[in-house]
Structure 1
Amino acid sequence: MNYTLHQLQVFLKIAQTQSVTKASIELHLSQPAVSIQLKNLQEQFEIPLTEVIGRKIYITDFGKEIAEAAENILKEVEAINSIRLNYQGQLAGRLKISIVSTGKYVMPHFLSSFIKQNQGVNLSLDVTNKSRVIENLENNEIDFALVSVLPENLQVESIVLMQNKLFLIGSKGQDLQKGHHCSDILCEIPLIYREQGSGTRHVMEEFMKQNNLTVLKKMELTSNEAVKQAVIAGLGYSVMPIIGIKNELKNGDLEIIPVGGFPIKSNWQIIWIKGKKFSPVASAYLNHIKKEKRKIIKENFQWFERY
């Protein structure tokens, strides 16, 4: 056997994503490069690691066991590197964070300077919906989560990062009369929703419930980007966080529709399980956020205050 750590890393990513294409994107490699590494690894085994049916790749039972072993090997290598760096006086280890999908417009700015200052820190950042984020937190699979709606049945501690504002959004050519509308307008227009489990959807539905509004749900989409494009195309209206539509507002592709009770406000918060014992990396990151968050907000989110 003469497989390399790089081959194991590539194969593990293929097994996790069930796709050579997705693996290449996440590893920042070309598809041919990923395919070559898979081929080179496969040549060292007589039993298939994968099989292709149609255009989809499947991991065999043997391949699943190799992927599990590869994951353990790579964790041990990471641990060795962390020990080396710690002995050299550098902070080292893995920082694991799960964020709701809209949080991708927020969290990178609160990570950038910390990661740059600590080259020995490896970041694992999972971008998903609110339900999955809370599941990760509850299973103690992560250090921190970024949410705008706190979990109801989980004891957590938190730090507020910044405000979150949601507005009713329409396309540039939308048909509504100009001017301010009362909240009843939401009953008259086709609304585009996020999927069940989304924090944005939760906020929308709570607003409808509090105002006794019965609305026309036009469609349900699984990402903010999909909702954004559907609104731009004129398929309906939606309630969206302002943080994710900066460029579309600037370019005039989307417009804020003034409605009574809007913006709906919440807070972006970093949360963790109450009583969690932090690793040195997680503890250092928490201290970094407490010290630097005002500076980060000033440098990256001043535009946000205009709305």
Structure 2
Amino acid sequence: MNYTLHQLQIFLKIAELKSITKASEVLNLTQPAVSIQLKNFQDQFPIPLTEVVGRKLYITDFGEDIAKAAEQIINHVHAINYKTLSFQGQLSGRLKISSASTGKYVMPYFLSGFMKENPGVELNIDVTNKSRVIESLELNEVDFALVSVLPEKLNVNKVELMQNRLMLIGSTKLDLKKWRSKKQLFENYPLIYRETGSATRNAMEKFILKNNFSVHKKIELTSNEAVKQAVISDLGCSIMPLIGIKNELKNKDLQIIPVKGLPINTTWNLIWLKSKKLSPVAEAYLDFLDAQKDYIIKNEFSWIDF
């Protein structure tokens, strides 16, 4: 056996995602490079690690066992690296954060300075929808979660980061003069929704219900970026977080449609379980936020208050 740490990391990611294509994207490698490393790794075992049925990749039972062993090896390697840095007087360890999908426009700005100050810290961010974010927090898979709506059934601590403003957004190709009222616009022009489980969708549905709008033309997309591109192309309009459309507003690809009752204002909160024993890295990050949060908001997000 002569497999490398690099091959273990690649196989573990393939086993997690059940896809060579997705693994290559996450690892920032080309698909052929990942395929070659997988083949070189598999060739060292007398039993198959993967199998392809139809066009779908499956991990064999033996492959699952090897993936678990690979994860343990990689964790031990990380532990060695962290101990080395610790002896050198550097903060070291992992910081794991799960973020609601639109939080990707927020969270990096609150992490950049901390990561530059602490090069020994390894950052892991999972960007997904609200349901999965809460699940990862509940299962203790992450240190922190970024949400705009606090979970009702979990005991959590929180740090308020900044305001999240949701507005009705349309393409600049949309001629608002053709519509007699905003009610008519909501009820007759296509409305683009996020997928079920999205906090943005929940807020949008509550607003529509509160105003007794009857939506007849509905389109559902599974990411904020997909919704944004659909709105730009004039496929429909949508209620979206202002935070994610700065450049599109500046370039006049999108317009804010004034509607009574909007914007919907929520708050981005960084939350963690009250029962969780935070690592030194997580504690240090909270100290960083306490000292730098206001400065970051002022320098990076003052444009929101127009």
TM-score normalised over the length of structure 2: 0.94
- Contact 2:179 2:185 survives alignment (8 Å): no
Measured after TM superposition, the shift of residue 211 of structure 1 is 2.9
Query: Who is 1:287 aligned against?
Result: 287
**CA distance in 2: counterparts of 1:214 and 1:76, whole angstroms:** 56
Query: Who is 1:144 aligned against?
Result: 144
SS in 2 for 1:158: strand
Q: Structure 1 residues 178 and 281, CA, compared in 2 at 3 Å: closer, same or farther? A: farther
Measured after TM superposition, the shift of residue 44 of structure 1 is 0.8
Q: Structure 1 residues 227 and 148, CA, compared in 2 at 3 Å: closer, same or farther? A: same
Moved more, 221-230 or 124-133: 221-230
Query: Who is 2:258 aligned against?
Result: 258
1:217-236 deviation digits (Å, cap 9, x = unpaired): 51111111111122122221
Query: Who is 2:29 aligned against?
Result: 29
Code of the residue aligned with 2:286 in structure 1: it is L
**CA distance in 1: counterparts of 2:83 and 2:14, whole angstroms:** 28
Code of the residue aligned with 1:223 in structure 2: it is S
State the percentage of identical aligned residues: 65
Code of the residue aligned with 1:97 in structure 2: it is I
- Contact 1:91 1:120 survives alignment (8 Å): yes
Code of the residue aligned with 2:77 in structure 1: it is V
- Contact 1:170 1:257 survives alignment (8 Å): yes
| 1:41 paired to 2:45 | no
Q: Structure 1 residues 213 and 152, CA, compared in 2 at 3 Å: closer, same or farther? A: farther
**CA distance in 1: counterparts of 2:151 and 2:185, whole angstroms:** 30
- Contact 2:188 2:217 survives alignment (8 Å): no
**CA distance in 1: counterparts of 2:193 and 2:230, whole angstroms:** 11
SS in 2 for 1:167: strand
The gaps in structure 1 that reach 5 residues or longer are none
Moved more, 51-60 or 224-233: 51-60
**CA distance in 2: counterparts of 1:112 and 1:5, whole angstroms:** 28
**CA distance in 2: counterparts of 1:281 and 1:156, whole angstroms:** 19
Moved more, 228-237 or 288-297: 228-237
Q: Structure 1 residues 67 and 200, CA, compared in 2 at 3 Å: closer, same or farther? A: same
Query: Who is 2:119 aligned against?
Result: 119
Query: Who is 2:110 aligned against?
Result: 110
**CA distance in 2: counterparts of 1:78 and 1:167, whole angstroms:** 44
**CA distance in 1: counterparts of 2:142 and 2:183, whole angstroms:** 39
Query: Who is 1:132 aligned against?
Result: 132
**CA distance in 2: counterparts of 1:181 and 1:159, whole angstroms:** 40
Q: Within 5 A, what are the aligned runs for 1:115-194?
A: 115-177=115-177, 185-194=185-194
Query: Who is 1:85 aligned against?
Result: 85
Moved more, 164-173 or 209-218: 209-218
Q: Structure 1 residues 183 and 261, CA, compared in 2 at 3 Å: closer, same or farther? A: farther
Query: Who is 1:269 aligned against?
Result: 269
SS in 2 for 1:216: coil
Q: Structure 1 residues 136 and 214, CA, compared in 2 at 3 Å: closer, same or farther? A: same
- Contact 1:99 1:125 survives alignment (8 Å): yes
**CA distance in 2: counterparts of 1:178 and 1:257, whole angstroms:** 13
Query: Who is 2:100 aligned against?
Result: 100
Measured after TM superposition, the shift of residue 180 of structure 1 is 10
What do you get for the CA RMSD once the two structures are aligned?
A: 1.8
Measured after TM superposition, the shift of residue 276 of structure 1 is 2.1
TM-score normalised over the length of structure 1: 0.94
Measured after TM superposition, the shift of residue 178 of structure 1 is 8.1
- Contact 1:180 1:258 survives alignment (8 Å): no
Measured after TM superposition, the shift of residue 117 of structure 1 is 1.3
Measured after TM superposition, the shift of residue 19 of structure 1 is 1.6
